[in-house]
């Protein structure tokens, strides 16, 4: 379960990102996904560069939780306000959607692959309010 959806992400993706959180800016992002341990885990190494900002890096581990059977992702980021993030996901159509709730703030990140394009959208909602876009990335696999 979820193995086929995770394998769609496999490979190297590069593209542009628009961040609309506390600060608004554009960046360049690179994600490299690869499966390990017979497809039981999908690892992601991420790097973001933007003018006049520190380089941001992250390492993500996607897997099916052995106890619940749920798809999960854990992110380890630098720089970050928190040392890691954990979210539970579902496959919905051609998307993988992960939701994390800390206090009264929920964050929803969706990954969608269509042909040679990966779209990542992160939205945030506070206190059960409306979802607001805080991040949108559009990536392509290098040709060759």
Q: What is the pLDDT of residue 84?
A: 53
Domain count within the chain: 1
- Which domain range does residue 60 map to? 3-140
pLDDT in tens, 42-70: 999 999 999 999 999 999 999 887 788 78
CATH number, domain of 70, equals 2.40.128.20
pLDDT in tens, 10-28: 999 999 999 997 789 999 9
- At 6, phi and psi to the nearest 5? -70, -35
């Amino acid at each position: 379960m979820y193995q086929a959806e995770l394998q769609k992400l496999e490979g190297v993706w590069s593209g542009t990102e628009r961040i609309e959180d506390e600060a608004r800016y554009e960046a360049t992002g690179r994600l490299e996904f690869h499966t390990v341990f017979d497809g039981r885990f999908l690892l992601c190494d991420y790097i973001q560069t933007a003018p006049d900002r520190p380089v941001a890096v992250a390492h993500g581990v996607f897997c099916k939780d052995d106890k619940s059977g749920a798809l999960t992702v854990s992110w380890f980021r630098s720089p970050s306000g928190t040392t890691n993030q954990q979210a539970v996901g579902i496959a919905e159509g051609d998307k993988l959607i992960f939701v994390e709730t800390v206090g009264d703030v929920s964050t929803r990140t969706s990954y969608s692959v269509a042909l040679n394009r990966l779209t990542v959208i992160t939205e945030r909602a506070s206190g059960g309010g409306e979802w607001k876009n805080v991040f949108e990335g559009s990536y392509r696999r290098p040709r060759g």
